[in-house]
Structure 1
């Protein structure tokens, strides 16, 4: 998932959650647009954080796979001797 897709997707989820919150309270959905912007910004930041976390997890997993492969090769080399 791209960075832009994550941020925009989470932002729209934040907007939807804000609309849900206002509809539960039976308030006008367009009463305070600043609240919508704030909710979108907070959820957009959460999307940015989730994207960075996913990228870092991929790097860590690749490093661990390489480490495991290296250990297996050393173990096989010792077993052949």
Structure 2
């Protein structure tokens, strides 16, 4: 469910930015629905990309933490042997 909430959140932000743009230009909110849908889809894809980036970063951090723990264990073993 985190992916769905992330994509929907970014999509709603895209929709809000498009509606804000139209209100600044004093145009009807339904003047170009294709552009509104495109803006929502692009922001939704950005939300998906951000979720994927976050997942990949979590994997990389877990691998690095495991490597650090391994190095600490090796140093403790060599220090204990001396």
Q: Shift of the alpha carbon at 1:30?
A: 1.4
Q: Kindly indicate whether residue 12 of structure 2 is the aligned counterpart of residue 18 of structure 1.
A: no
**Normalised TM-score (structure 1):** 0.96
What is the CA RMSD across the aligned residues, in angstroms? 1.0
Following superposition of structure 1 onto structure 2, how do residues 49-68 of structure 1 map, counting pairs within 5 Å? Answer: 49-68=49-68
Following superposition of structure 1 onto structure 2, how do residues 1-81 of structure 1 map, counting pairs within 5 Å? Answer: 2-81=2-81
Cα deviation 1:36-63 (Å, max 9, x = unaligned): 1000100000000000000000000000
Q: Shift of the alpha carbon at 1:21?
A: 0.7
Q: Which runs of 5+ in 2 are unaligned?
A: none
**Normalised TM-score (structure 2):** 0.95
